[in-house]
Structure 1
């Protein structure tokens, strides 16, 4: 995954450019590299963001319908964390849209715009990291659901007791 490569690259950079206590050797360079990391992570998440709610809903549905023996005890927590992170990311995205709209009238300088964007990206880092590290749970649930046998129906409904459907659409009345 692209996000895993971004995290690995950041970890490598951070390890080489900080002292034993984690303090950067050059705060300005370190800060700019952190800004790059945040931008790259937002971009990597964008294709997932568009369908993230559907992915979470599908995983939750699959989880509820799997055999108990196929469930992983971490999945409820992971799905919950992904949902909370997505809620926060959507809130940040909405705030950013408002900031950009307000900027149409206040005309911020290029530097002010970049600083505001960097601040938004930095605020999103924790949630983006959650998706990068816990997002694999969506695939794990999906694959387990296909391995898991479908639960057997407990009772087959009697067709004579089923409600009749009346066609209300003119094309269906024949």
Structure 2
């Protein structure tokens, strides 16, 4: 997620420098190429997290449910919802990419226009959902930190003495 945040920050700096005051690119072609690179980099940054993302969400939800109310940020429930929706859509887009890739001509390999254009389109469709993870993914760390700082239920449980200890 940190890599995605760096990619987004770099994109924002590029976009600010290469667009006019109304947000229109100075050079459409160069801007499009840079956006395509941003999309591919963001997909690459998310890929190591992708297969464990559902587990991370489930863990955060469990931790959140067990936190004392006074330690919970109200935005966390919303952010987890955004992350769930984004992951669902990313899974759908991945399945669509596999169908698209399998339908490409046998000569369409990485480095050919057919393959690279289809992959760039897939990355572009995925980008906003990956951006959701870059933007809201920090909630997972925040919830985990709060859970580790919260007093344990075992620590607060009343001590019961056995007859032998009395």
Give me the whole-angstrom Cα distance separating, in 1, the residues matched to 2:134 and 2:55: 17
Give me the whole-angstrom Cα distance separating, in 2, the residues matched to 1:9 and 1:63: 32
Partner of 2:23: 22
- Which deviates the most, 96-105 or 73-82? 96-105
Report the secondary structure of 2:21's partner residue: coil
Give me the whole-angstrom Cα distance separating, in 2, the residues matched to 1:57 and 1:43: 23
Partner of 1:92: 93
* Cα displacement (A) at 1:68: 0.7
TM-score, structure 1 as length reference = 0.83
Partner of 2:78: 77
Give me the whole-angstrom Cα distance separating, in 2, the residues matched to 1:59 and 1:11: 29
**2:12 counterpart of 1:11:** yes
Give me the whole-angstrom Cα distance separating, in 1, the residues matched to 2:152 and 2:105: 54
* Cα displacement (A) at 1:137: 0.2
Report the secondary structure of 2:46's partner residue: helix
What's the CA shift string for 1:76-110, capped at 9, x where partnerless? 000000000000011111111111122255x4482
Question: Equivalent residues in 2 for 1:59-78 (5 A)?
Answer: 59-78=60-79
1:123 is matched with which residue: 118, 122, 125?
125
Give me the whole-angstrom Cα distance separating, in 2, the residues matched to 1:153 and 1:102: 60
Instruction: Show structure 2 runs of 5+ residues with no match.
Output: 161-166
Q: Would you say the 8 A contact 1:66–1:150 is kept in 2?
A: no
Give me the whole-angstrom Cα distance separating, in 2, the residues matched to 1:82 and 1:21: 30
Q: Would you say the 8 A contact 2:104–2:114 is kept in 1?
A: no
RMSD over aligned CA atoms reads 1.7
Partner of 1:132: 134
- Which deviates the most, 93-102 or 46-55? 93-102
Instruction: Show structure 1 runs of 5+ residues with no match.
Output: 157-174
* Cα displacement (A) at 1:150: 2.7
TM-score, structure 2 as length reference = 0.87
Partner of 1:168: none
Report the secondary structure of 1:20's partner residue: coil
Partner of 2:163: none
Query: Structure 1 segments of 4 or more deviating over 6 A?
Result: none
Partner of 1:39: 40
